[in-house]
Chain A
Amino acid sequence: MKVLVPVKRVIDFNIKPRVKADGTGVETAGVKMSMNPFDEIAVEEAVRLKEKGIATEVVAVSVGVQQAQDTLRTAMAMGADRAILVLTDVAVEPLGVAKILKALVAKESPDLVLLGKQAIDDDMNATGQMLAGLLGWAQGTFASKIEIADGKATVTREIDGGLETLTLALPAIVTADLRLNEPRYASLPNIMKARKKPLETIAPADLGVDVTPRLTIVSVAEPPARQQGIKVESAADLVARLRNEAKVI
């Protein structure tokens, strides 16, 4: 079974993003970039499927700028076998990414596409569902557990009131939630090995995909800041203020 794992290069989750002074977006120049944390979880799960003998090949894919190669090398250092970079300087929206992935699925014929449930930059939470829709495949979103057996995937999903379990006919799309696994750190020997693994670069046009954005960014602004509060001295003081000042109890 072949597994395709799309990964995105984003501002490292430890860095507080700064809105650009001209309000056109968030500053990325000179900012540390890393693999989207949810995608790391997806890579880890795919590699574990391979280690269990369920997956035969794990192919990492990224849509983005030249430096997204680093993100793909990280995926290969974690255990992906090879990588494909769809090179573009345009910020491709989930719809465009889903179209690119659909074209790659036609080329690669994976049985499973494992993605992070959302990227921590645009917080769209859409690409997996959109790819599933375009392909007409089953989808298991927000997965906290995946089991593959008898040509089916059994997926436990994190929903509003608890957990839901579905079985999906393969091929299928699964998106990873936080508690699916804890991604490994790539070891130094594996990082060295990953440098020699194959990385193919193609253009969206090679796949016949139009990635023109549908959304125009009118402005990006800082959210209104909360007023600095006060420290209270005691529980009694706190209760008195909640009652008399804030009037919320």
Chain B
Amino acid sequence: MSMEISSLTPGVLVDTPAARVAVQPAAGRLSLRARKAALPALGAALGVSLPTRIGQRAAGGGIEAICLGPDEWTILTPADAVAGLLAAGAGVDHPHSLVDISARELTLRIQGPRAADLLTLACPRDIDTIPVGEGRRTVFDGATVVLWRDGENSFRMDIWNSFAPHLARLMGIGARELAAEPA
């Protein structure tokens, strides 16, 4: 991996016996903001039941939703479904905000026997307190990230584009460092 990367394209960043970190292909991503009263209508329009506890996730009809704040959700969807969802949201009568952020960030997939340990290099929160199947917005090496825990040692990390090279560099260092540790 070049130390001077300034943009990342989908593919494997680093692959060691400890952890494998890959940039995921681009996906559709929407930021939804609304009060609780609007949730049933918005859920129906978007086709996913929106979870209400921060960190909780829901999935259905090819899209995933995570609750990030008391009035905030991120919706993941195939890239070609974004326009349809925006249109569906526009039809909902309750006040809300639906903003396309597909181009704002990219996703790293972090897997391998030491994947959770790799996150401890720069995430000050206790990774063990994120249940499998949930997610959290938190901080990693100075950047705000959304961490999706898909398995004990399988994570996705959403990061804003401009922070990606910095974080990717640390992922590379860390995956190699963990692999070099004596058993």
Q: Do A and B bind each other?
A: no
Write the residues of chain B forming the contact surface with A, with a CB cutoff of 8 angstroms. none
